[in-house]
Chains A and B, each alone.
Chain A
């Protein structure tokens, strides 16, 4: 299995809602990542998990809360988001952190009303 899967594909939420994005990989990769991508812009790194521990948090607001339940799963919990948080949220994984190419999932298109 050489895929990174993400659910849901689309999500619409109000500013008071709590929701979660899910990501899964079965390639035995030891690093997993969350990115945010706005239209016509490159992906921006949000979080890095290395061997199931949070190793990088790129000054992301606390309304985004990552979680890595095990080596195959990565969640992003969302609470009290703002309309400007609407974007494509991408999950990726790599064999090793920092030095291996990353494999991306298809993304979750998030709209905050």
Chain B
């Protein structure tokens, strides 16, 4: 069965302290890996899609990378407004178990 795990479960950073979040996956026929940010009580906000190993995407202080087994979301010099839950999700090939599944998320707190 397709699985997505994320680590750490929670992360507290000082403002400006760079770090990385991990998303590990096992899926048959990866069609895409997605990163989202979710603030409490709101819908997830789409950040990136990665399709193949070696691919990288950047947006402001965020950079997402992908290997054959995991993805990293690097946060450079974070600010308090980056505090949120970061979710990754994978889309497997239709017909190979669950089609689209989210990981449990990493709760990021950035302290001023």
Contact = CB atoms under 8 A, between A and B. Distances in A.
Interface string B87-102: 1010100100011111
B100 A45 contact: yes
A113 interface: no
B102 A42 contact: yes
B104 A41 contact: yes
B49 interface: yes
A15 interface: no
B6 to A, nearest CB: 9
B99 A43 contact: no
A98 B101 CA distance: 11
Interface residues of A, number: 23
B102 A107 contact: no
Given A101-B46, A103-B46, A107-B43, A42 B105 contact: yes
Interface centre among A56, A101, A106 (most CB of B within 10 A): A101
B94 A106 contact: no
Interface in A88-109: 88, 90, 92, 98-107, 109
A104 B102 contact: no
Nearest to B35: A101
Given A45-B99, A48-B100, A102-B34, 20 more contacts: A4-B43, A41-B104, A42-B89, A43-B87, A45-B101, A56-B99, A90-B44, A98-B31, A98-B32, A98-B91, A98-B94, A99-B51, A99-B91, A100-B32, A101-B34, A101-B48, A102-B44, A102-B46, A106-B43, A109-B41
Interface of A: 4, 41-45, 48, 56, 58, 88, 90, 92, 98-107, 109
Interface of B: 31-32, 34, 36, 41-46, 48-49, 51, 87, 89, 91, 94, 98-105
